[in-house]
Amino acid sequence: MASSLSKIAISTASIVILSQMKELRKRRRRTTWVNSFLKGRNYTQPLDDLGAYETELFRNFCRMSLSDFNILLGKIDEKVSRKDINYRESIPASVRLAQTLRFLATGDSHGSLNYLFRISKPSISKIIPEVCEAIVHALKDYVKMPEN
């Protein structure tokens, strides 16, 4: 008799727990797609601030001169550019390149780049490999890669 009562108690408790878990899932639904920190972003602000004042600041930030940056940007612009859509503007190719160069030069984490450029971590994790691939493809005539 005691075992049948304990089985009923366990099954009742599991039903209650499952119903509470469903209620928690319903309450946790997102109301927005973008974090409030990222909503008021200006993608080009870090680059505008650096480029407008001194080229030495830009060189220190990207580990590349502004003229070399523009040459490289011209070579990869078509591969890394995206079109704006109705509800979201795309991240410019110049910002994608600067972010990738900053990552390669300093080894900053995606979280650090998130705060610096105001771009989400998932976007950063897609942008960096994409831009690296475009750079390798654009500079394959200038840099000899090992064959084995």
The predicted pLDDT at position 130 comes to 93
111 & 62 share domain = yes
Residue 145 covered by a domain: no
Is residue 123 domain-resident? yes
In whole angstroms, what is the distance from residue 124 CA to residue 5 CA?
A: 55
Residue 143 domain-assigned?
Answer: no
Q: Do 6 and 77 have their domain in common? A: no
Q: Are residues 44 and 112 in the same domain?
A: yes
pLDDT at site 29: 56
Q: What is the pTM of this model?
A: 0.67
Note the pLDDT of residue 74: 93
pLDDT digits 0-9 by tens, 107-132: 889 888 888 888 888 889 999 999 99
- The answer to whether 65 touches 51, Cβ cutoff 8 Å, is no
- Residue 14 has what pLDDT? 67
Whether 24 and 40 map to the same domain: the answer is no
Low-confidence ranges of the chain (pLDDT < 70): 1-11, 13-14, 16, 18-54
Per-residue model confidence (pLDDT) at position 6? 65
Note whether 134 and 103 are same-domain residues: yes
In a domain, 148, yes or no: no
User: Domain range for residue 43?
Assistant: 36-138
107 lies in the same domain as 60: yes
